[in-house]
Amino acid sequence: MNDRPLRPPKTGVGHYVEELLQWLPRVAGQHRYVGFFTDILRRRPPAVGSAPSDSAPGTSPRRPPEFVRRLLHAGYNAAFRLAARPDRYDLYHEPNHIAIPWQGPIVTTVHDMSVVRHPEWHPRDRVTWYEREFAQSVRRTTHFICPSAFSKSELVTLAGVDPDRVTVIPLAPREPFRQQDEPAVASARERLALPQRFLIFVGTLEPRKNIGGLLEAYARIPLAARERYPLVLVGAGGWRMEGLWRRAAELGVRDALRPIGYVSEADLACLYTAARALVWPSWYEGFGLPPLECMACGTPVITSRTTSLPEVVGDAAIQIVPDDPAALAYAMRAIIEDDALAADLAARGPARAAEFTWQRCAAAHAAVYEGCLTTS
């Protein structure tokens, strides 16, 4: 497995890789699983702790020049082809959309097709990478895995992949994500300097997540509600978000925002437990772990009724149209003001989240691997 996504800041693909490498030996221990980045290159991603962020939520991370990234990418691919030869391994799993050239059976996970469907949401070098290599990866892949029926339909429609070459395997909440006890919640709240009550958003601050729409809607709820429930933003700064802080000031909500950057899983579980609700009006998702993991913690969720998200949350969340700030504002006010509604959603969430498990997810992956080896 190309486990390079384990490098921080760990996003959804990195969490996916981490869980698979933990669960595969448990559910299908007759096979040996090797992570190229960690087991062959002997690299160990540093541990990530929690620390309040002094940066504005619109601050984008520094990216090396494109030619440097291309050189590093080419070097990594060359090392992969040299060390992970087909005479040593039976199958290669690429968990991050585009497979490195390899002579044996290849399983590729395509989480979503947002780069193809909406290139304007992504940095130019990422779009160029897709334009240069994605079609070749599709041809060389033996079988695909997608986390939702929506992502499968996008892959079939936009890349012309035979549906029989795609298996849908949903993801699941990670082990720390369950309702936390009050001492742990209080400790996290004090360490991160957060108030007793708040709304929360979790994810990379980038155009696809519709942060601008979230701020527009948040500005529509009464000032008294914003003062009672500030909006906590958890996650790293993403691409093309430099103007976000300025926009927050223009809307008059800057003082109600609490950007805290990237936090540990343990602290995030505490923040989910403490929050009044997760507000997650993303434009486009291949799955959407934050809503599922928040529901597992017994906290209400407001999310979009688009792309894969209805598959994930079912009837256990409020679903809104992401391009309607008035509807999102109404949903936030309802969650803040209606204790019975909040309690009902909080009760439904854990039951819905329990329908998804990493044990089943990993077992389904092992079955795909075995199927590819049987037919190859």
Task: Specify the pLDDT at position 125.
Answer: 85
Indicate the pTM of the whole model: 0.91
Beta strands 257-261 and 166-168: pairing type?
unpaired
**Which CA distances in Å does 370 have to 28, 148, 367?**
10, 21, 5
Buried b (16+ CB within 10 A) or exposed e, 259-269: bbbbbebbbbb
pLDDT tens digit at each of 376 positions of the chain:
999 999 877 788 999 999 999 999 999 999 999 999 888 888 776 555 544 444 444 444 556 666 677 787 788 888 888 888 888 999 999 999 999 999 999 999 999 999 999 999 888 888 998 999 999 999 999 999 999 999 999 999 999 999 999 999 999 999 999 999 999 999 999 999 999 999 999 998 888 899 999 999 999 999 999 999 999 999 887 766 778 888 999 999 999 999 999 899 999 999 999 999 999 999 999 999 999 999 999 999 999 999 999 999 999 999 999 999 999 999 999 999 999 999 999 999 999 999 999 999 999 999 999 999 987 6
Contact assessment for residue 15 and residue 174, using Cβ atoms and an 8 Å cutoff: yes
Residues 6+ apart with CB under 8 A from 266: 176, 184, 188
Structure tokens belonging to residue 321:
């149209």
The gap between the terminal CA atoms of the chain, to the nearest Å, is: 18
What domains appear along the chain, each with residue ranges and CATH number?
4-48+84-172+357-375 (3.40.50.2000), 182-353 (3.40.50.2000)
In sequence order, the β-bridge partners of residue 234 are 202, 261
Please choose, from the candidates 95, 93, 92, the residue with its C-alpha nearest in 3D space to the C-alpha of residue 109: 95
Omega prior to 195 cis, within 30 of 0: no
- Give the whole-angstrom CA distance, residue 9 versus residue 21: 18
- Give the whole-angstrom CA distance, residue 363 versus residue 326: 43
Structure tokens belonging to residue 291:
């809503």
Structure tokens belonging to residue 78:
């060359």
Q: Sheet harboring 166-168: ordered strands across?
A: 92-94, 106-109, 143-146, 166-168
Radius of gyration in angstroms for the set of CA atoms belonging to the chain, rounded to a whole number: 21
**Which CA distances in Å does 70 have to 3, 121, 145, 239, 248?**
18, 20, 26, 18, 35
- Helix (H) / strand (E) element for 274: namely helix 265-274
